[in-house]
Amino acid sequence: MKTPYSHCRGVLLTAIALAAVAVPLAGCSTTYQASSVKPSGFLKDYSQLRKGVGDEVLMVYLKPGVNWKQYNAILMEPVKVYAAETGWWSKAPPETVQALLNYFDATIRKQLSEDYQFVDAPGPNVLRLRAALTSATGSNVALDTMSSVIPIGIALNLLKQVAYTENMSVGEASIEAELLDSLTGERLIAVVDKRVGRKYTFKFDKFNAWRVAQDSFDTWALRTHNRLAELREGDDIPK
């Protein structure tokens, strides 16, 4: 899907993922937050989420009164695709879907590993992270492909190597995600967000079909890192 773009300028990046926050950042993003998003069904229960305002994520829930300082590890489930069987994700070559999922997984781990240990089992100080790249078109299902754990450098290189044609380029990216207590399963954070691409980036990446997805993933991962750091410092304002 192609989206009109606007001139890239120094801005406050306006989307977040998982932690639902807006933090001033320097530089210039090749994407911006969409005006609206429809739930895909991945989160199942959307009754707790409210519509974001201002610089918040488009839909957000943040449980009040959580002792965020107690959490020092993350159990991250493989990133999935939850989309229509007739949509772009289902029609894209498997290696393309795999490369996108692997890059998203890798950039999240790269950001959060600065403050958290990634573990393979639930524990008393462990958060469980669930995330999916989504589409709200038609009847959505979980596709078979899931992310693998590989270093960020390899993930980026594989993404750049994926062949594409003009009609395969990604003009927008949507996400649904939640953080749970790994032992109780209690939901602590949930978000739904969507980003679309700008027309002019002035970064000589005009023909990079994956720049919108890559920029969206990088933005969401960085926002998650920053917001969780704030929460651990005691700022539980739901942004």
Q: Which CATH class is domain 31-232?
A: alpha beta
* Cβ–Cβ < 8 Å for 178, 187: yes
Tokens for 235, please give them.
Answer: 């700022």
Which residue do the tokens 């990446």 mark?
Answer: 205
* Cβ–Cβ < 8 Å for 92, 168: yes
Backbone dihedral angles phi then psi of residue 47, each to the nearest 5 degrees? -65, -25
Name which of 211, 239, 230, 238 is nearest 68 in CA terms: 230
Report whether pLDDT(44) > 60: yes
Separation in Å, CA 62 to CA 4, 18, 46, 180: 32, 10, 12, 11
Which residue do the tokens 């300082």 mark?
Answer: 69
- Please state the pTM of the whole predicted model: 0.78
Mean of pLDDT over the chain: 77
Give the 3-state secondary structure of residue 84: strand
The pLDDT value recorded for residue 203 is 53
Which residue do the tokens 């999935």 mark?
Answer: 80
Name which of 117, 135, 106, 130 is nearest 218 in CA terms: 106
93-132 pLDDT, tens per residue?
A: 888 888 999 999 999 999 999 999 999 999 999 999 999 9
86-100 pLDDT, tens per residue?
A: 677 777 888 888 899
Domain ranges of the chain: 31-232
139 confidence band (pLDDT: 50, 70, 90): low
Name which of 212, 175, 232, 202 is nearest 58 in CA terms: 175
Give the 3-state secondary structure of residue 211: helix
171-209 pLDDT, tens per residue?
A: 678 899 999 999 999 999 999 998 887 665 445 454 466
Handedness of CA 73, 75, 81, 83 (dihedral sign): negative
Cβ neighbours around 219 below 10 Å, total:
25
Q: Which residue has the higher pLDDT, 144 or 82?
A: 82
